């Protein structure tokens, strides 16, 4: 069948109609055109073709044919002079009548109004004609044989005849052609909407060659089912008579040479399935559970995805299935996928049995027992797996337990375990190990992983090895305590209450020295707290005026005291140099920090020395003033001054000594050689003079 090649509505200015009479007659006869191929422009028109527009467009097309014939007949009957300014009366009346009817059509639907363009193509001409005859000037002398009313009627007739000629040309060249653009899309839409689409609305229909079926909800008025923006609602059938899911986002995509096809890529489910359970389902995926006389509960777990997938597996919902035997034992099937049409993918599914033991099952001759037991069978992998909580016979798994998956080989000499180490129900590490029936022990390796929780901030087992026997569990690991990772840490955990002792056998560097020989920590029962006490000896150099200071450093940390997480106490050979301070974590315990703390106290002690000098004779006071001046400059440069001791009396002392020196006059030259020897060098230069005696208090 021939098809007219028509441009879009927006490019109609270049259009010249060429629709054959044969096609017109076929269309008017109502022959379905669903299989006709539409041009890209016509497909674009189809996307905006709703049900009402399709029906009205088909009616209008038939009317356009009648209008063409009537206008052509009236034109032939009248003598229309070439170049005449207006149409004859009969032709004018007919054209104005068609214009009036087109206005009614344009008012009935926005898309038809766009095609007709009544306002800009017809109404404009009519308004110009009215303005012209109303504005005509009546001249009695010129039109003496006509009254003004007769003159006005003749002016109106002439103006409308001129408008008719222009409108008639517009109708033939533009308006009718634009309307006829709608012919193929309207027929395609009308035949589908009046035929096959009614089935989609009345009953579930299959999608493509798959098992998916759904029923379409009737579209709202004015919505085109052929537009990607249609967002049609559907009811997707998963389990016949038991599970139907509502979704939106459907539209029907044009298909050349055939019926339009449903586009489901953008379907979105309206409901959240995370809490949805379906009870007493007797058929699922055409499996044999229909023959089991057991209550079945299906819990849906995910929102289905209708985008394109392999082998047409679209719209799948992950679900778990639960059956109960003997009113106690739960049989679970997890990670299954239900597709529309009662199709189930069992590929990654597992059948699992969970049962709470009334009494623990001893693993003789070991001191361990299984406190819970369960199993699973992977259908595709043919693998048996047992899950349990392993602890000692004497203590419950709420204290210390290994929540493990076990792989058992026969004859049973050992059980390989893989799971999570828990103390007081708190996950500490992922573990892989083996229960040795000959030794009665459990040995394994562990590491902290993502998702493992700890009740104590700043404490982690890290990674290492564990050993379990009857009364206790030992671990050797790289642990983390108070922000520092500590290698070769040994821990002992009690099965009685879950408490633990931690010691380090490696090199723990705090303040630049080895604290490991005295590094000990304690974990409270059931991981309630972490307490750390440690003592070490440190030599700090570069503290003026003392040079190197030997001191004892005590570290005290306790997570129960949140005001000062880690307390540091430093004791030296002189009480006035001792210092106490706090740090947030162990990594802050650097030698520079300790040196700065000692330097502050040493500087305060120095000022106290100058205070004693201020009470001595004139020569010593003069010497003290010069020492104070030079040392303060040195401290300002080194410590980012101006430096203050924090003692107002001592801070004022320097100025008083300086004023006294100016009053007495003179100074000691070349007293200081460099900043590092400032205090000690100045004093030793001074005491070379036999007449000067040091005060009772002296740092030297």
- Counting Cα atoms < 13 Å in the Cβ hemisphere of 450 gives 0
Nearest to 126 by CA among 151, 149, 92: 92
663 φ/ψ angles, rounded to the nearest 5 degrees: -70, -35
- What Rg value do the Cα atoms of the chain yield, rounded? 50
In this model, does residue 379 exceed pLDDT 60? no
Q: What is the percentage of the chain residues whose pLDDT exceeds 90? A: 3
Chain mean position to CA 454: 25
Domain residue limits, the chain: 9-189, 197-316, 317-472, 500-597, 603-687
pTM over cut 0.75: no
Least confident of 341-355, 576-590, 667-681: 667-681
Q: How many CB atoms lie within 10 A of CB 147?
A: 12
Report the relative pairing of strands 513-514 and 547-558 from DSSP bridges: unpaired
In this model, does residue 191 exceed pLDDT 80? yes
- In the prediction, which pLDDT does 16 show? 30
Q: What is the DSSP string of 71-114?
A: HHHHHHHS---TT-SS--HHHHHHHHHHHHHHHHHHHH-HHHHH
Least confident of 283-297, 334-348, 661-675: 661-675
Judge whether 543 and 598 are in contact, CB under 8 Å. yes
More confident residue, 116 or 26: 116
181 φ/ψ angles, rounded to the nearest 5 degrees: -60, -30
Q: Which two tokens stand for residue 566?
A: 């880690």
Q: Which two tokens stand for residue 345?
A: 């993918």
CA distance 175 to 259: 30
CA distance 568 to 580: 6
Sign of the Cα pseudo-torsion (7, 11, 16, 17, in order): positive
More confident residue, 87 or 21: 87
In this model, does residue 216 exceed pLDDT 90? yes
Q: What is the DSSP string of 228-250?
A: TT--EEEEEEEETTTEEEEEEEE
Q: How many CB atoms lie within 10 A of CB 547?
A: 12
Q: Which two tokens stand for residue 402?
A: 């290994």
More confident residue, 260 or 417: 260
Query: What mean pLDDT is reported for the chain?
Result: 75
Peptide bond into 448 cis (omega under 30): no
Judge whether 109 and 179 are in contact, CB under 8 Å. no
- In the prediction, which pLDDT does 614 show? 60
Scanning 447-557, the segments in alpha helix (DSSP H) are: none
Which 3 state secondary structure label does DSSP give 567?
Answer: strand
Sign of the Cα pseudo-torsion (271, 276, 281, 287, in order): positive
In this model, does residue 122 exceed pLDDT 80? yes
In this model, does residue 382 exceed pLDDT 50? no
Chain mean position to CA 422: 30
Please report how the helices 89-108 and 148-170 are oriented relative to each other, as an axis angle in degrees rounded to 10: 60
In this model, does residue 14 exceed pLDDT 50? no
Which 3 state secondary structure label does DSSP give 270?
Answer: coil
Judge whether 447 and 429 are in contact, CB under 8 Å. yes
Mean per-residue pLDDT, 578-595: 89
Q: Which two tokens stand for residue 299?
A: 């819990």
More confident residue, 445 or 674: 445
């Amino acid at each position: 069948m021939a098809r007219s090649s028509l441009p879009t509505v927006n490019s109609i200015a270049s259009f010249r109609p060429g629709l054959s009479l044969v096609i017109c007659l076929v269309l008017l006869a109502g022959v379905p055109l669903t299989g006709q191929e539409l041009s890209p422009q016509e497909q674009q028109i189809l996307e905006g073709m709703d049900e009402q527009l399709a029906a009205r467009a088909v009616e209008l097309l038939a009317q356009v044919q009648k209008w063409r014939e009537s206008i052509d007949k009236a034109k032939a009957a009248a003598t229309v002079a070439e170049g005449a300014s207006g149409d004859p009366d009969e032709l004018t009346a007919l054209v104005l009548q068609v214009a009036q009817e087109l206005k009614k059509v344009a008012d009935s639907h926005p898309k038809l109004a766009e095609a007709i363009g009544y306002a800009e193509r017809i109404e404009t001409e009519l308004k110009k004609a009215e303005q012209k005859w109303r504005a005509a000037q009546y001249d009695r002398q010129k039109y003496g044989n006509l009254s003004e009313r007769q003159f006005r009627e003749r002016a109106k007739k002439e103006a409308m005849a001129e408008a008719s000629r222009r409108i008639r040309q517009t109708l033939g060249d533009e308006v009718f052609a634009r309307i006829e653009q709608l012919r193929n899309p309207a027929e395609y839409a009308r035949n589908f909407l009046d035929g096959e689409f009614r089935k989609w609305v009345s009953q579930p229909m299959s999608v493509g060659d798959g098992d998916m079926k759904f029923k379409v909800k009737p579209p709202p008025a004015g919505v085109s089912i052929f537009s990607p923006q249609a967002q049609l609602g559907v009811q997707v059938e998963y389990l016949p008579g038991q599970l139907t899911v509502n979704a939106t986002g459907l539209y029907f995509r044009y298909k050349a040479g055939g019926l339009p096809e449903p586009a489901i890529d953008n379907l979105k489910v309206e409901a959240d399935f995370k809490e949805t359970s379906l009870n007493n389902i007797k058929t699922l995926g055409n499996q044999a559970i229909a023959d089991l006389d057991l209550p079945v509960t299906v819990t849906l777990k995910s929102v289905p995805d209708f985008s394109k997938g392999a082998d047409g597996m679209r719209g799948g919902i992950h679900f778990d299935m639960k059956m109960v035997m003997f009113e106690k034992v739960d049989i679970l099937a997890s990670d299954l996928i239900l597709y529309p049409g009662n199709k189930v993918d069992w590929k990654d599914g597992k059948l699992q049995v969970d049962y709470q033991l009334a009494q623990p099952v001893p693993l003789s001759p070991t001191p361990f027992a299984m406190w819970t037991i369960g199993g699973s069978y992977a259908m595709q992998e043919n693998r048996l797996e047992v899950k349990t909580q392993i602890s000692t016979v004497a203590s419950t798994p709420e204290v210390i337990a290994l929540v493990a998956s076990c792989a058992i080989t026969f004859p049973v000499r050992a059980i390989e375990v893989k799971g999570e180490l828990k103390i007081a129900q708190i996950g500490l590490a992922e573990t892989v190990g083996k229960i040795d029936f000959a030794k009665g022990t459990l040995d394994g390796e562990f590491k902290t992983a993502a998702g493992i929780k700890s009740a104590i901030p700043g404490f982690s087992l890290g990674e290492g090895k564990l050993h379990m026997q009857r009364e206790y569990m030992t671990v050797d690991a790289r642990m983390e305590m108070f922000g520092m990772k500590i290698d070769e840490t040994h821990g002992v955990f009690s099965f009685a209450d879950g408490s633990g002792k931690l010691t380090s056998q490696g090199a723990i560097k705090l303040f630049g020295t080895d604290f490991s020989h005295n590094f000990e920590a304690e974990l409270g029962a059931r991981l309630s707290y972490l307490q750390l006490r440690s003592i070490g000896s440190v030599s700090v150099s570069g503290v003026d005026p003392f040079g190197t200071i030997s001191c004892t450093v005590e570290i005290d940390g306790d997570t129960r005291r949140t005001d000062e997480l880690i307390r540091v106490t430093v004791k030296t050979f002189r009480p006035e140099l001792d210092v106490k301070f706090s740090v947030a974590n162990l990594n802050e315990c650097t030698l520079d920090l300790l040196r700065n703390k000692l330097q502050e106290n040493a500087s305060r002690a120095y000022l106290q020395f100058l205070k004693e000098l201020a009470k001595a004779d004139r020569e010593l006071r003069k010497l003290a003033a010069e020492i104070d001046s030079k040392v303060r400059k040195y401290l300002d440069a080194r410590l980012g001054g101006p430096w203050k001791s924090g003692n107002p009396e001592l801070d004022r002392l320097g100025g008083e000594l300086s004023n006294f020196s100016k009053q007495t006059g003179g100074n000691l030259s070349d007293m200081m050689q460099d900043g590092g020897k400032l205090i000690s060098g100045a004093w030793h230069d001074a005491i070379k003079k036999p007449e000067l005696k040091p005060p009772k208090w002296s740092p030297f």
